Amino acid sequence: MVLLSPSIRALQRLISMCQDYADTHGLKYNVKKSELMVFKPKSKTYTKLPEVSLCGTPLLRVSKFKYLGHWVTEDLSDNCDIERERRSLAVRCNMLVRRFARCTHAVKVTLFKAYCQSFYTCSLWSSYTRRAYSDLRVQYNNAFRMLMGLPRHCSASGMFAEAQVDGFAAIMRKRVASLLSRWRGSTNSIMVALSDRWDSPLLQHWTKLHVVEK
């Protein structure tokens, strides 16, 4: 469960409401598994904050935490989550190369699509460095080369086109288009209101992914 609040005082009030509900229903929160994170605005830094407690125990403040498999950081950067996906992709690729080196070309392509094109939560990435994003793209290209036994410096666009497999950029665009379609088709009033905001950083990033630079 995640609680979001614009202030420490309001957050403590939300926590108190949760505690009251837990006490009424015979439940107990695990303080050791509960953490506090403050999202840092770009123009301000907070060196000292009021204590926030759960069940009488101060919460541990962290700079990042993993929620539903996605790394969230205090500066809202996606570099950490992109690195998580890059490492996971490397592990999956190495497993495929070891176990299926003698399989046919068609089988390898099917396995690659199944195990190396998921990019979990990639459609939410909007704030990252060019290096982090490039490292993941290179890892994806090298994964296909290794599995197919291709030369290390062969053309990425050429090998994907020949095998009829989506390249990295194509996958990112498809994931974004899919999420945007479901987002705008949602019946949730909050989601509908957010989807109509053209000044949304996430929407602006999605638009850039579909623009071809000349």
Coil, strand, or helix at residue 134?
A: helix
One domain for residues 91 and 178: yes
- CA dist list (Å): 60 to 73, 116, 125, 194, 196: 15, 36, 26, 31, 37
Task: Say if 113 falls within a structural domain.
Answer: yes
pTM of the model: 0.85
**Above 70 in pLDDT, residue 83?**
yes
Task: Say if 2 falls within a structural domain.
Answer: no
- Tally of domains within the chain: 2
Task: Say if 214 falls within a structural domain.
Answer: no
One domain for residues 85 and 143: yes
Stretch 114-140: mean pLDDT: 94
**Above 80 in pLDDT, residue 46?**
no
One domain for residues 98 and 198: yes
**Above 70 in pLDDT, residue 160?**
yes
One domain for residues 125 and 204: yes
**Above 70 in pLDDT, residue 213?**
no
Task: Say if 68 falls within a structural domain.
Answer: no
**Above 80 in pLDDT, residue 22?**
yes
Domain with 165 in it: 79-209
One domain for residues 132 and 28: no
One domain for residues 196 and 128: yes
Write down the pLDDT at residue 214: 45
One domain for residues 100 and 183: yes
Task: Say if 71 falls within a structural domain.
Answer: no
* Residue 125 φ then ψ, to 5°: -70, 125
One domain for residues 123 and 187: yes
Task: Say if 97 falls within a structural domain.
Answer: yes
| Residues with Cβ within 8 Å of residue 5, at least 6 apart in sequence | 11, 14
Stronger pLDDT, 42 or 114, i.e. the higher one: 114
* H or E segment and range at residue 61: strand 60-61
Task: Say if 74 falls within a structural domain.
Answer: no
One domain for residues 52 and 135: no
In whole angstroms, give the CA distance from residue 117 to residue 155: 19
One domain for residues 53 and 85: no
One domain for residues 49 and 97: no
One domain for residues 46 and 90: no
Stretch 112-118: mean pLDDT: 94
